[in-house]
């Protein structure tokens, strides 16, 4: 009786069978990952654009799109770097100078001022939280993938 063969099932090594299954799973995952990341990036960019249209300000209650500069620069990038996959969304090609103020606001969620730099007077700028909300949803999508 040979001890080097390990456990055998129908004449094949279970260890070799397991290795084959893992290899096939990894190859399948690697083939599907770029499509999955592109989908996450596309949906995140759509959420950010939707938030531009849905969230208003004191001077523009029906939405934030005036010139379209922020709205039209929303996008995403997905790819690999140093053997790691990534997806970036929001304004990956650069944002307008006021993007952070619009997204994070100069008011907290309770309406208190958070920033001394307040170009719109005493009322402040309510935050959109578009980037954070898109990130939270993308995180859920990735966790569901596990």
* Residue 2 is assigned to a structural domain of this protein: no
* Residue 111 is assigned to a structural domain of this protein: yes
* Residue 6 is assigned to a structural domain of this protein: no
Asked if residue 108 has pLDDT above 80, the reply is no
Q: Which pLDDT does position 7 carry in this prediction? A: 61
pTM recorded for the entire structure: 0.70
Asked if residue 93 has pLDDT above 60, the reply is yes
* Residue 5 is assigned to a structural domain of this protein: no
pLDDT > 70 fraction of the chain, expressed in percent and rounded: 75
* Residue 133 is assigned to a structural domain of this protein: yes
Looking at the structure of the chain, the number of domains it has is 1
pLDDT > 90 fraction of the chain, expressed in percent and rounded: 24
Containing structural domain, residue 105: 11-145
For residues 116 and 67, the model is more confident at 67
Residue 78: phi and psi, rounded to 5, are: -140, 145
Cα–Cα distance for residue pair 92/47, rounded to 1 Å = 15
């Amino acid at each position: 009786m040979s001890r080097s063969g390990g456990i055998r099932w129908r004449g094949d090594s279970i260890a070799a069978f397991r290795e084959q299954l893992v290899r096939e799973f990894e190859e399948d995952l690697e083939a599907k990952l770029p499509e999955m990341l592109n989908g996450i990036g596309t949906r995140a960019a759509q959420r950010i654009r939707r938030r531009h249209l849905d969230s208003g300000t004191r001077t523009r209650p029906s939405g934030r799109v005036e010139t379209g500069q922020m709205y039209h620069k929303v996008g995403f990038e997905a790819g690999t770097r140093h053997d790691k996959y990534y997806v970036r969304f929001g304004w990956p090609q650069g944002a307008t100078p006021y993007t952070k103020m619009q997204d994070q606001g100069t008011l907290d969620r309770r309406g208190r001022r958070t920033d001394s730099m307040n170009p719109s007077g005493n009322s402040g700028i309510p935050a959109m939280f578009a980037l954070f909300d898109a990130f939270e949803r993308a995180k859920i999508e990735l966790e569901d993938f596990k």
